[in-house]
Structure 1
Amino acid sequence: MWGIGTSSPPGDSYGVLPWPCRALVLLNPQSGTGRALEDFQAVVQPMLAEADIATTVFITERPHHAHEKVRDEDLSQWDTLVVMAGDGLLYEVVNGLMERPDWEETMKKPLCILPGGSGNALAASINHYAGNDHVAKKKLLTNCTFILCKGLHTQMDLVSLSTASGKRLFSFLGFGWGFISDVDIDSEKYRWLGNARFTLGTLQCLAKLRVYQGPPGALPTDSLLVPPCQPVPAHWTVVPEEEFVSVYAIYQSHLGTNLLMAPAAQLHDGCIHLFYLKAGISRVALLKIFLAMARGTHLDLNCPHLRYVPVRAFRLEPRAATGIMTVDGEVLVWLSAGSRGPTGSSHIPFPRQPGASWSPATGPCPGACLGGHYSGCLV
């Protein structure tokens, strides 16, 4: 797999939503514990009404419903799109927008994420970037809604992924393979527990700890990119052939509401924060890492099996099609993939302004890669 990132323009620039504001709210009532609609009506709607933000609510009824809605709908009647669900629904929305013939213009429209799912990684990251104290559940929802009411938006990194079949996907959170993805997907059946599902999933995956083969190659942040179809160049850092427990490339600070995985990450730092866990780590040591991640202090443990590298690109070449791969918490079908990623632009609520528009790169090339490029926005 390939992952490629480019630096966004330096400094923070801010855009402002029009006033009064018209918002299309895409809401999944089944997200998380199934309280998204109730929480929207009790917490979000009164705050938006006070802020003079008029809402049109679209309730999803099936998988890909939001994807189809934003892909096919005339969106000119709304000033912003608001997603009230988990990260998976925003993933649908971003990819639906990118399939539109007018995607370049539409991706300038601000997007907002309000936490209504289990993990709520992007919402937790935005709350963190805003300088707020760590909170969860309704307090996090209130904070994110207040950010939307302020009406400011800013740049956010976005990654492009392409498969050998020609399909292109777009990611705002991260790509994972191994233990972390196993926990995320295997715990889906406990989603009614909310964020606690990840604790239970972690314990279950620890009991049946798996290892994988597929050394990642990484491009340092100060190096030049090469076409993703070419072999790994000599100036790349290549991890020796060995077994791994998990590989995760994250572009935001939080992996979940209570998991501060990349404390140094920023919304538009143009950096892929690559973590990998080598095989041989004990279950106790692995559990300590995830407990410390709640405070963002896991790197302070100096665990010899945990590696962290900030990179502009990475290549992952699994030796076998085993384990679960995820993009923004959604399962990625095992397909060889590759492309040179586009530079992106998207918007979501937080105090900050839109970045440069993108032009997608040419089609995919053979090989096992996952491609991406950075530049986007967050309201």
Structure 2
Amino acid sequence: MATDQPLWISDKNILKTESLNINVNDVVGVKPQKGSIRVICYPLINGQRKRMVVNLKGDEQTLTTYAKQMSYNKVPPHKPSEVATKQKRVLVLLNPFSGQKRSQKRWEGDCRPVFDEAGVYYTIVKTEHVQHATEIVQEMNLNDFTAIVILSGDGLVSEVLTGLITRADRARALKIPLLHIPAGTANALAAAVAFQTGEPFSPRGNFCPEMALMIGRPSYKPLRLYHVETEKDGPKLMFLTAVWGLIADIDLGSERFRWAGLSRLHIEAFVRVAQLPSVATYKGRISYKPVENKQLSRNTRIKASEVRSRLGAAYFRTDIVEEYDDIKDAKAGGVESLQKAFEDSNDSGNKFPRLKDPVPSDWTVIEGEYAFVCLSSISHIGSDLPYCPSAKLGSDIMYLSLVDWRTIKSRFHIAHLLITIDQCLHLDHECFQMIPVTACRVEPAPNSGGYVAIDGEPISMGSAFQVTSTDLTATVIGREG
């Protein structure tokens, strides 16, 4: 619905008319017309984004000034070609098999209209097989696109990140902005981005429109990447979680209920918990390098609804993603191994022992029988699961959480912990430990078994692994609050 409004006055990022205040950050498209400018915006009304079209009238000089103010032509940090930047050209990777196979429908109904209104040109590529996205990203020309849009679940995000980090020109490649539009099952990254940037979203519903709107006025955020060294499966990249035990059992075991969408996790959780304690009793040794910061430890107990009020509005303001300035000196095209990428990162001074090396003396070592052990690096482990709300996207700190069977009263104790993660009530349980770390080694005892999952993907059951922070960060698209 369009309304005619005479332009009154502009105050910082707020355009004021006689009856409307328009936040520039809510503007998607601006189209100059004779004697007016047509503004397409999506203001937040009662907690939801609502489409609004406003025709602003005024003198030519005023209209020109504010049309420029509302237009967004910021150069992405990887500095693509001038043609791509001017046209806002993006690569859309769509996984037609993700989640409940609704990604095509989400694109047509929720995303394409917004992209068209924002004047964004797009090239759509449907992935055809596992690691297809990795291959596409390894071979793409960074000069051709201003961003990569990932319309799928977290699995396709992982493939894209792997493709970027294994390019010979990874220093520049990791600067290309990524927009995750949640069309999978868990959609943890999209939820974490929305949460950190203060964008309201429906944890168990469709929030593709909210994420799609970020393409109009993108704000670039760093996303920390972690090195996982495994006993049997080679090096892995992590940006979400590394899990051993019950949580991994639920995540991977629920694939049989994929038809149920997000509910598959709840169904599998019920089945597993009903069998406790005959299942999910895993003996092992956990070694970690703690972060000696009492305030950081206290922050891990703050619930999602309290983070901003208790830690301040500026808590989630991230470091600026610096532009890549060495384009002339960028390495030629080519693909390198994941191990080479991590070795280069370690050369920057962020060194940790290898998995086979002895545990350093400044690490803490504990042994026990655990229900699960989880390393998480961002706030959410699923769109409806705010696991560690105080975690930041770009931080080089992970959060080691574990539940020792010696602290569990009954299977109902575990059941209550799991089913209340959506309300952050798991943070109130004394049996639930959460420790800020920069490195962690998990060594299951012989024959302990148990699923192990890295960012939701399985590795050999009951195998040892080590996760360490790196100085590598990717770039994700959020919005300014």
Asked if 1:296 is matched to 2:363, the reply is no
Instruction: Tell me the amino acid that sits aligned with residue 101 of structure 1.
Output: A
Aligned counterparts, 1:132-147, within 5 A:
132-136=199-203, 139-147=206-214
2:252 aligns with one of 167, 170, 185: 185
Q: Is the 8 A contact 2:426 2:432 kept in 1?
A: no
Instruction: Tell me the amino acid that sits aligned with residue 289 of structure 1.
Output: L
Q: Is the 8 A contact 1:225 1:313 kept in 2?
A: no
Gaps of 5+ in 2: 1-73, 77-84, 294-349
Q: Is the 8 A contact 1:273 1:308 kept in 2?
A: yes
Instruction: Tell me the amino acid that sits aligned with residue 182 of structure 1.
Output: D
Q: What residue number does 1:368 align with? A: none
Q: Is the 8 A contact 1:154 1:351 kept in 2?
A: no
Q: Is the 8 A contact 2:291 2:437 kept in 1?
A: yes
Q: Is the 8 A contact 1:161 1:341 kept in 2?
A: no
1:329 aligns with one of 446, 456, 467: 456
Give, in whole Å, the separation in 2 of the partners of 1:317 and 1:99: 28
Using the TM superposition, name which of 281-290 and 337-346 deviates more: 337-346
Asked if 1:98 is matched to 2:165, the reply is yes
CA RMSD of aligned residues (A): 2.3
Q: Is the 8 A contact 2:441 2:465 kept in 1?
A: no
1:196 aligns with one of 263, 273, 283: 263
1:169 aligns with one of 236, 251, 262: 236
Q: What residue number does 1:270 align with? A: 396
Partner of 2:471, secondary structure, is: coil
Give, in whole Å, the separation in 2 of the partners of 1:54 and 1:21: 6
CA distance 1:76–1:176, change in 2 (3 Å): same
Q: Is the 8 A contact 1:275 1:309 kept in 2?
A: yes
Q: What residue number does 1:233 align with? A: 360
Give, in whole Å, the separation in 2 of the partners of 1:54 and 1:105: 22
Q: Which has the higher strand share?
A: 2
TM-superposed deviation, 1:163:
4.0
TM-superposed deviation, 1:76:
2.6
Asked if 1:284 is matched to 2:412, the reply is yes
CA distance 1:166–1:186, change in 2 (3 Å): closer
CA distance 1:340–1:261, change in 2 (3 Å): closer
Q: What residue number does 1:29 align with? A: 96
Q: Is the 8 A contact 1:23 1:79 kept in 2?
A: yes
Give, in whole Å, the separation in 1 of the partners of 2:183 and 2:467: 33
- Answer with 1 or 2: which has the greater Rg: 2
Using the TM superposition, name which of 49-58 and 223-232 deviates more: 223-232
Gaps of 5+ in 1: 1-14, 353-379
Give, in whole Å, the separation in 2 of the partners of 1:259 and 1:336: 26
Taking structure 2 as the reference length, the TM-score comes to 0.65
Asked if 1:55 is matched to 2:111, the reply is no
Q: Is the 8 A contact 1:191 1:197 kept in 2?
A: yes
Asked if 1:112 is matched to 2:179, the reply is yes
CA distance 1:212–1:253, change in 2 (3 Å): same
TM-superposed deviation, 1:330:
0.8
1:257 aligns with one of 383, 386, 389: 383
Q: What residue number does 1:313 align with? A: 439
TM-superposed deviation, 1:237:
2.1
TM-superposed deviation, 1:341:
5.8
Instruction: Tell me the amino acid that sits aligned with residue 143 of structure 1.
Output: E
TM-superposed deviation, 1:337:
5.6
Taking structure 1 as the reference length, the TM-score comes to 0.82
Asked if 1:345 is matched to 2:459, the reply is no
- Aligned residue pairs total 335
TM-superposed deviation, 1:342:
4.0
CA deviation string 1:48-84 (max 9, x = no partner) = 1111111111101221111221123334311111111
Instruction: Tell me the amino acid that sits aligned with residue 174 of structure 1.
Output: T
Give, in whole Å, the separation in 2 of the partners of 1:72 and 1:310: 37
Partner of 2:423, secondary structure, is: coil
